[in-house]
Chain A
Amino acid sequence: MNMSFRTRLFLIAVLILGSVVSTVLILGWSSVLAVELERLDKRLCMEARRLATEPLQLDGIDRLQTDMMGKLHLSSPDQLMLRYQSITGGENFQSVNWLKKFEPNQAQWRTEISADQVASAEPAKNIRLNRRSDQPPNPPSEQPPRERPRGPPEGRSISMGSCSLASFDDQGRQWHVARLPTNLGLGLIAADIADTQAELKNALSQALKFVVPLALVLAALGAWLLSVFMMRPIYRLSNAMKGVTQNALDQRLSTTGEDREFKGLIDAYNTMLGRLEASFQQASRFSADAAHELKTPLTILQGRIEQARNKSDQPMMQAEFTELLDEVGRLSVITRKLLLLSQADAGSLTLQRTSIDLSSLLDESAADMQMLLTDQTLKCDVDRQLLVQGDAVLMQQLFNNLISNAVRYCLPNGLIHLSAHKRGKSIEVQISNTTRPISVEDRARFFDRFFRGDVAHNRRIDGNGLGLSLASEIALSHGGALILTETESNVVAMRLTLPLG
């Protein structure tokens, strides 16, 4: 996957923030649910106490049921079941919808709330179950008047046991049951909490509709800010590093105001830059020294041979000396090229720019080629008024190299094609010639220094293998490029682009 570091950072941050937010939401919701259920259970216990301690007349059941429904926030009478079992031989009753299936004796009761707690929890009656603020449970004072006086039957006090709770499922309905025994009887009350849960879920989903998108937006914003703040020093560093070119290796990045981590990075970079500068200085000093050291003996050699040739009156000897002079010339050409190449490498190639008419330069080159060709054909297609800003000596050297190669490697009866055209803001010069097939491997090494292909070796073609790489450097130093274009194996085509000047 090829995504930017910043995008990755952003996505990771979104993921982390998103999972934190959703964990908080889930945990929060489940604890809210637990608290609400516990509260409901307490209320059930309270209602069970009411049922157990205030046995009602049969005709009061409806009212009690309605009252309890209100307090337990139940919407239909189906969701509430009441049962009172007297052990003293008093009235028993149970609501009509009491599920036979539920056997109190078989249920797993857990004693949750002692009698004291139920009593002390009394004030909690007023605590609303949930957000239904529009339907407050009836305060105890508003309870409908009873037909029978409250309190225990005469002469007998009521003692309560502790409230136990159980739950059971029936046909998708979830019942919570509270049981409260007294010395007179047993109060059982069961409520279907499905509605309560649904209500909670509903409220939650309502909240989520707003909270989740908001949380996501906030998370994305946070992640974006994080990535921006993370990237800022990196961008600043990379901009500063871009400013360091071959010509400005003495520049160092400042560590003031940077964070500790980046200080380390900058220090490492500066150290590397220092080593690079040292080696560049060494290289350019080396080439300057080497040029001087080589040129002095070459000058002496050439001067002495010339002197000897002038003194000699034997044509044979003169010819011999001339040949030696040509060899010295070759040596000094290689020295000069190596010097130029090392200067180009160090970025210190000095150009003396003037306005050059490429068209007339190419005309001259074409005329030179025409002089050299025997049975080959030269096709020329050069636009007029192609002007560039460049170093005349180096530019001439570049074209001399290209046309020399074209003539050198062109097959007998072959074709050389020279073209130069304006292309937007640049000039495109193309020189191609037919040749013996050249392998892809050899083509890839065309610009390597001292590389000479099999063709050159086989045909005993002279050269030092530096010309093309220097030509490419000259093109680069002029803001252009020299490339080998893809052709059939028996054609070599070089394309030079230069900015229009």
Chain B
Amino acid sequence: MPARNGVQTKILLIEDEQKIADFVCAGLSAREFAVTHCDNGNTGLEHVCQNNFDAVILDLMLPGRDGLSVLKEMRSRGVLTPVILLTARNELGDRVEGLNLGADDFLAKPFFVEELIARIQALLRRLAGERQNTLQVGVLKLDRISRQASCGGQTIDLTAREFSLLEYLMRSAGQVFSRSQILEYVWGYDFDPNTNVVDVCIKRIRGKIADLQEDSDTASAIESVRGAGYRFKKV
């Protein structure tokens, strides 16, 4: 995916904290992205206006010119490069303001690099005009509009939580998610992290898929990774 027609996807990271920039760059490079790093708002703005990036990862608190101001200025100059905001401050307020100013997505610190990559990929797919309303891995297909899951044409009756969980795993198939990651994404904040609600839910989804057909391959598509969490098997 990052390399399209032999051309690497170009990402600009505007982040003043060197250590954060280091592992983000490392994580993105490992997935074949071409990353450029800027540690201040003014040079970041120049970069984004002069070069043709596929996406910008923009930190909010920056020396020189803060993130929201960079976003506002680049949009007013007609630069439409998609932007993912990294928020650290007053999350809710900045999120709203950022989205109003033309950010495409946001991610609250601390974040997982894998999550960031998933967001970038989803964003690029969306902008490339790919159909986003269905998500298919193998024979499993999710209709994101009607929130219906189907397996080889047969509908699977999933609850809202089960659908969200399956969607989260399938969106980044092949990637391992820990229980607390899944819990935070699917259930939101402040759900007792020590419950086994994730395990129970996964067990139910597996059961529902297994009920449909005797295809053990599909039912075992959700893999348990011992000690780490769960992963949807990449086809």
Q: Do residues B227 and A371 form an inter-chain contact, with CB atoms below 8 A? A: no
Contacts of A300 in B (CB 8 A): 17, 19-20, 23
Query: Which of A310, A397, A407 has a CB less than 8 Å from the CB of B188?
Result: A397
Q: Do residues A371 and B110 form an inter-chain contact, with CB atoms below 8 A? A: no
With contacts A296-B17, A350-B93, A393-B188 known, is A316 near B193, CB below 8 A? no
Q: Do residues B23 and A303 form an inter-chain contact, with CB atoms below 8 A? A: yes
0/1 interface trace, chain A 307-323, chain B, CB 8 Å (1 if under): 10110000110111111
Contacts of A315 in B (CB 8 A): 225-228
Q: Do residues A350 and B188 form an inter-chain contact, with CB atoms below 8 A? A: no
Query: Which of A309, A326, A336 has a CB less than 8 Å from the CB of B180?
Result: A326
Contacts of A333 in B (CB 8 A): 189-190, 193
- Closest CB in chain A relative to B28 CB, distance in Å: 11
Q: How far is the CA of A190 from the CA of B91 in the complex (A)?
A: 107
Contacts of A350 in B (CB 8 A): 90, 92-93, 96
- Secondary structure dominating the interface of A: helix
Q: Do residues B228 and A322 form an inter-chain contact, with CB atoms below 8 A? A: yes
- Closest CB in chain A relative to B94 CB, distance in Å: 9
* A400 in contact (CB, < 8 A): yes
Contacts of A467 in B (CB 8 A): 190
- Closest CB in chain A relative to B103 CB, distance in Å: 15
Q: Do residues A299 and B20 form an inter-chain contact, with CB atoms below 8 A? A: yes
Q: Do residues A288 and B90 form an inter-chain contact, with CB atoms below 8 A? A: yes
How many residues on A have C-beta within 8 angstroms of the other chain's C-beta atoms?
62
* A329 in contact (CB, < 8 A): yes
Taking each of B61, B161, B179, B193, which has the highest tally of chain A beta carbons within 10 Å of its own beta carbon? B193
Q: Do residues A462 and B89 form an inter-chain contact, with CB atoms below 8 A? A: no
User: Which of B34-42, B47-55, B127-135, B197-205 is found at the contact surface with chain A?
Assistant: B197-205
Q: Do residues A393 and B112 form an inter-chain contact, with CB atoms below 8 A? A: no
Q: How far is the CA of A462 from the CA of B192 in the complex (A)?
A: 8
* A404 in contact (CB, < 8 A): yes
Q: Do residues A396 and B23 form an inter-chain contact, with CB atoms below 8 A? A: no
Contacts of A328 in B (CB 8 A): 110
- Closest CB in chain B relative to A119 CB, distance in Å: 105
Taking each of B24, B110, B178, B180, which has the highest tally of chain A beta carbons within 10 Å of its own beta carbon? B110
Q: Do residues A462 and B194 form an inter-chain contact, with CB atoms below 8 A? A: yes
* B159 in contact (CB, < 8 A): yes
Contacts of A348 in B (CB 8 A): 90
Contacts of A407 in B (CB 8 A): 192, 195
Q: How far is the CA of A319 from the CA of B229 in the complex (A)?
A: 9
Q: How far is the CA of A244 from the CA of B95 in the complex (A)?
A: 29
- Closest CB in chain B relative to A389 CB, distance in Å: 15
Q: Do residues B191 and A400 form an inter-chain contact, with CB atoms below 8 A? A: yes
How many residues on B have C-beta within 8 angstroms of the other chain's C-beta atoms?
51
With contacts A329-B184, A329-B193, A371-B200 known, is A299 near B111, CB below 8 A? yes
* B79 in contact (CB, < 8 A): no
Closest to A371 in B: B200
With contacts A302-B110, A322-B229, A404-B195 known, is A371 near B190, CB below 8 A? no
Q: Do residues B23 and A304 form an inter-chain contact, with CB atoms below 8 A? A: yes
Q: Do residues A336 and B189 form an inter-chain contact, with CB atoms below 8 A? A: yes
- Closest CB in chain A relative to B90 CB, distance in Å: 7
Contacts of B228 in A (CB 8 A): 309, 315, 318-319, 321-322
* B27 in contact (CB, < 8 A): yes
Taking each of A404, A462, A467, which has the highest tally of chain B beta carbons within 10 Å of its own beta carbon? A404
Closest to A351 in B: B92
Q: How far is the CA of A394 from the CA of B111 in the complex (A)?
A: 19
Query: Which of A301, A307, A337 has a CB less than 8 Å from the CB of B110?
Result: A301
Taking each of B109, B193, B195, B204, which has the highest tally of chain A beta carbons within 10 Å of its own beta carbon? B109
Q: How far is the CA of A415 from the CA of B26 in the complex (A)?
A: 51
Q: How far is the CA of A328 from the CA of B112 in the complex (A)?
A: 11
Query: Which of A332, A351, A397 has a CB less than 8 Å from the CB of B190?
Result: A397
Contacts of B112 in A (CB 8 A): 302-303, 306
0/1 interface trace, chain A 274-293, chain B, CB 8 Å (1 if under): 00000000000000100110
0/1 interface trace, chain B 40-70, chain A, CB 8 Å (1 if under): 0000000000000000000001000000000
Q: How far is the CA of A298 from the CA of B20 in the complex (A)?
A: 10
- Closest CB in chain B relative to A147 CB, distance in Å: 121
With contacts A295-B110, A315-B227 known, is A391 near B92, CB below 8 A? yes
0/1 interface trace, chain B 222-235, chain A, CB 8 Å (1 if under): 00011111000000
With contacts A291-B88, A307-B23 known, is A400 near B190, CB below 8 A? yes
Contacts of B137 in A (CB 8 A): none
Contacts of A372 in B (CB 8 A): 195-197, 200
- Closest CB in chain A relative to B177 CB, distance in Å: 10
* A442 in contact (CB, < 8 A): no
* B113 in contact (CB, < 8 A): yes
Q: Do residues B111 and A404 form an inter-chain contact, with CB atoms below 8 A? A: no
With contacts A364-B160, A372-B197 known, is A332 near B188, CB below 8 A? no
Query: Which of A299, A301, A329, A364 has a CB less than 8 Å from the CB of B161?
Result: A364
Q: Do residues A393 and B189 form an inter-chain contact, with CB atoms below 8 A? A: yes
Closest to B86 in A: A299
* B114 in contact (CB, < 8 A): yes
Sampled A-B contacts (16; CB under 8 Å):
A295-B109, A296-B17, A303-B24, A303-B111, A309-B228, A310-B114, A318-B227, A318-B228, A328-B110, A337-B190, A350-B96, A397-B188, A400-B188, A405-B192, A407-B192, A467-B190
- Sorted nearest first, the 5 A-B pairs with minimum C-beta distance are A319-B227, A404-B192, A303-B23, A299-B110, A350-B93
A-B contacts besides A296-B20, A333-B193, A352-B95, 8 pairs, CB < 8 Å: A300-B17, A302-B110, A303-B23, A306-B27, A318-B176, A319-B226, A321-B228, A368-B197
